[in-house]
């Protein structure tokens, strides 16, 4: 999953030009690829489909590595993934493909607006062109080496995390970081070396834009956290940290997935050290989760989060199958879907009005005497803490901002790998007022860097921002939504998401999608207002 956005803050408003543009359009053929090149699109699609299939094969191997593969197979598996990444790279950067894209007049032009004459073909050529340009800028050696080192890196990271010893992972991280820095040089950038990395996950987004958006968010979040802490109210969460037998957690997770509309004929749920969603094909989108036998939140909310990703991938229009457009439009939009289900829906009172009786039946011991309202308050408890994936909705974004700052410095060369644990701890002290007692609860908690994924973290916070804006619009469009959730009717909500977001795949870049769906540009105040309103209620602020 991955993709694009461009924000709006300083975007000019080409509105005035619209009438003329519309007139031009009317005079043009409705397709970008006219009769003179009848087979060009077909040829491009055949090449593209082959690349998609190789990527799906690669996903099968990665999914297997993270779920069922025996540990000693890691060496062979990394070579298999290296081979595939080379084959994919060869196809994506082939001169024949370049020639075809040139003949088709492909460019990275973004959507012109609602009057765009051939939005599907334009988007198709745009995405192919961007992938081609990116591939041709990266030497094959770098791509395959990074794939190989990332596979090895994951294994080193897992060992180091288990031993809670950053020193075991540091040499491999240094190797990966050097390759990533080389990548930024090859891809090129005008402002910040972090930009080309960000662009892979959030196309068109710039570091400078994120700096601005996040600065505003940081101030508002800290203010809210301070007021929550100062309120002195501490919801009782003791019953969440109690024995929750894993087989019953699994049963409940499967129930929730079925009820919210995840299709088990096109997916499945497995377990892995780090939950993820893997797209193995248009009819095969798999989820993983992990269960903590002593803590409720990890398993179920992790499952619901991944379900949000899975529903997005499964909802992409069938007409886009086997094309580069059959994918989420950006990781920020992808995360908006997972966070929407996990938090905006999955931690709402109506959701638990429906599910809580069944949860209580499965876990009578910790939950028998716990009232619904107290359970709801507990799963929404705000507490500055160490672990990102277990953080509440309010402090979660502060965890992301820590990583964003560290990544920028690592990529710019202002921070060395050996200095990372100290810098991590200092940032946590500053942002959240907590100190990790060891590396596994600190700098080693996330898998991303071990896989060479730099530039990914900010998309989690972007996801929360987009989710807030989508949620506000959705509630406006579906005034009966809360009553429907209480009755366990998830179909209207899912249909809305499919219609407005999922079916479009990568046709519409994130910034345009946000405007198209909500009528507004990306705006951090919407998330701030949502959190303010929700937590004022819970904490009686």
Which positions lie near Zn ion, rule CB under 5 A? 338
* Nearest distance from C-beta of residue 385 to Zn ion, angstroms: 19
How does DSSP assign 305-358, residue by residue? HHHHHHHHHHTS-GGGTTSTTSS-S-HHHHHHHHHIIIIIITTSHHHHHHHHHH
Compute the distance between CA of residue 413 and CA of residue 454 in angstroms, rounded to an integer.
14
Three-state SS letters, 52-116: HHHHHHHHHHHHHHHHCCCHHHHHHHHHHHHHHHHHHHHHHCCHHHHHHHHHCCCCCCCCCCCCC
CA 423 centroid distance within chain: 25
Residues 424 and 444: their CA atoms lie apart, in Å, by: 10
Closest to 334 measured CA to CA, from 303, 320, 313, 304: 313
CA distances for 6 relative to 3, 205, 346, angstroms: 11, 5, 28
Q: Closest distance between Zn ion and the C-beta of residue 338, in Å?
A: 4
Look-up of token digits 């940032």? 427
State both tokens at 96.
């024949």
Whether 502 and 312 have beta carbons less than 8 Å apart is answered as yes
Q: Which is nearer to Zn ion, 323 or 338 (CB)?
A: 338
Beta bridge partners of 279: 285
Report which of 471, 470, 409, 487 is spatially closest to residue 194, judged by C-alpha positions: 409
Give least dist CB 426 to Zn ion, A.
Answer: 27
Report helix, strand or coil for 277. strand
Beta carbon of residue 346, minimum distance to Zn ion (angstroms, whole number): 13
User: Residue 161 CB, nearest distance to Zn ion (Å)?
Assistant: 19
C-alpha span between 534 and 348 (Å, rounded): 9
C-beta of 338 vs 450, nearer to Zn ion? 338
Other Cβ atoms closer than 10 A to 76: 10
Scan for tokens 């662009």, then name that residue: 199
Min dist CB 10 to Zn ion, Å, is: 29
The answer to whether the beta carbons of residues 194 and 412 sit under 8 Å apart is: yes
44 or 398: CB nearest Zn ion: 398
DSSP 295: B
User: Of residues 82, 209, 306, 335, which has the active-site annotation?
Assistant: 306
Nearer of residues 193 and 452 to Zn ion, judged by Cβ: 452
CB-wise, 338 or 380, nearer to Zn ion?
338
213 or 304: whose CB is closer to Zn ion?
Answer: 304
469 closest CA partner among 337, 301, 314, 349: 337
In whole angstroms, how close is the CB of 306 to Zn ion at the nearest point?
Answer: 7
Contacts of 216 (CB under 8 A, 6+ apart): 524, 525
Q: Give 365-373 contacts, CB < 8 A, sequence gap 24+.
A: 365/242, 365/243, 366/239, 366/240, 366/242, 366/243, 366/244, 366/296, 367/239, 370/239, 373/349
- Asked if residue 285 lies in contact with residue 326, where contact means CB atoms within 8 angstroms, the answer is no
Is residue 271 classed as helix, strand or coil in its secondary structure? strand
Would residue 512 show up in a list of annotated catalytic residues for this protein? no
Which residue minimizes CB distance to Zn ion?
Answer: 338
We find the least distance from the C-beta atom of residue 308 to Zn ion, in angstroms, to be 7
Identity of the residue, 220 or 305, whose beta carbon is nearer to Zn ion in the bound complex = 305
Instruction: Give min distance, CB of 111 to Zn ion, in A.
Output: 26
Q: How far is the CB of 447 from Zn ion (least distance, A)?
A: 12
Instruction: State CA 321 to chain mean position distance.
Output: 21
Which runs of consecutive H residues, i.e. helices, occur in 341-457?
349-362, 364-367, 372-379, 393-412, 420-432
Characterize the bridge pairing of strands 277-281 and 284-289.
Answer: antiparallel
Q: CA triplet 481, 487, 490: central angle to 5 degrees? A: 55
- Closer to Zn ion by Cβ: residue 6 or 334: 334
Question: Quick one: 92 or 397, whose CB is closer to Zn ion?
Answer: 397
Q: By C-beta, is 289 or 338 nearer to Zn ion?
A: 338
Q: Which sequence positions are flagged as catalytic?
A: 306
């Amino acid at each position: 999953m991955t993709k694009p956005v461009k924000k709006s803050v300083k975007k000019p408003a080409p509105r005035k030009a619209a009438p003329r543009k519309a007139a031009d359009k009317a005079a043009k053929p409705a397709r970008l690829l006219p009769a003179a090149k009848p087979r060009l699109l077909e040829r491009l699609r055949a090449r593209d489909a082959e690349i998609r299939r190789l990527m799906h094969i690669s996903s099968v191997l990665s999914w297997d590595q993270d779920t069922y593969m025996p540990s000693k197979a890691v060496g062979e598996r990394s070579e298999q993934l290296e081979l595939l990444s080379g084959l994919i790279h060869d196809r994506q950067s082939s001169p024949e493909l370049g020639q075809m894209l040139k003949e088709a007049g492909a460019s990275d032009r973004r959507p012109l607006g609602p009057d765009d004459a051939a939005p599907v073909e334009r988007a198709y050529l745009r995405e192919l062109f961007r992938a081609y340009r990116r591939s041709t800028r990266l030497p094959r050696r770098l791509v395959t080496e990074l794939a190989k080192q990332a596979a090895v890196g994951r294994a080193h990271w897992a060992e180091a995390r288990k031993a809670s010893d950053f020193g075991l992972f540091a040499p491999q991280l240094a190797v990966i970081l050097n390759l990533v820095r080389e990548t930024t040089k090859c891809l090129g950038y005008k402002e910040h070396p972090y930009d080309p990395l960000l662009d892979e996950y959030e196309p068109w987004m710039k570091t400078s834009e994120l700096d601005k958006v996040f600065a505003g968010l940081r101030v508002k979040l800290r203010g809210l956290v301070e007021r929550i802490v100062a309120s002195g109210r501490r919801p009782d969460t003791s019953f969440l940290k109690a024995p929750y037998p894993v087989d019953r957690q699994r049963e409940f997770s499967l129930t929730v997935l079925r009820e919210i509309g995840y299709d088990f004929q096109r997916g499945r749920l497995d377990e892995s050290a780090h939950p993820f969603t893997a797209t193995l094909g248009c009819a095969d989108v798999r989820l993983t989760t992990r269960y903590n036998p002593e803590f409720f939140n990890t398993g179920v909310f992790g499952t619901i989060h991944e379900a949000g990703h899975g529903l997005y991938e499964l909802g992409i229009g069938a007409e886009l199958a086997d094309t580069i457009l059959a994918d989420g439009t950006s990781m920020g939009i992808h995360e908006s879907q997972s966070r929407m289900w996990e938090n905006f829906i999955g931690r709402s009172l109506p959701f638990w009005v429906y599910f809580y009786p069944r949860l209580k039946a499965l876990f009578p011991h910790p939950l028998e005497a716990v009232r619904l309202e107290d359970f709801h308050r507990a799963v929404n408890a705000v507490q500055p803490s160490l672990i990102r994936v277990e953080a509440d909705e309010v402090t979660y974004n502060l965890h992301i901002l820590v990583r964003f700052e560290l990544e920028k410095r690592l990529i710019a060369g202002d921070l060395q790998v050996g200095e990372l644990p100290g810098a991590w701890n200092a940032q946590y002290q500053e942002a959240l007022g907590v100190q990790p007692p060891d590396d596994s609860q600190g700098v080693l908690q996330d898998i991303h860097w071990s896989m060479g994924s730099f530039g990914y973290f900010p998309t989690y916070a972007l996801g929360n921002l987009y989710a807030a804006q989508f949620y506000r619009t959705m509630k406006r469009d579906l005034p009966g939504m809360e009553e429907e959730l209480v009755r366990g009717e998830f179909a209207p909500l899912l249909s809305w998401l499919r219609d407005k977001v999922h079916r479009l795949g990568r046709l519409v870049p994130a910034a345009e999608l946000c405007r198209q769906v909500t009528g507004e540009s990306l705006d951090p105040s919407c998330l701030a207002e949502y959190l303010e309103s929700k937590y004022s209620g819970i904490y009686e602020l």
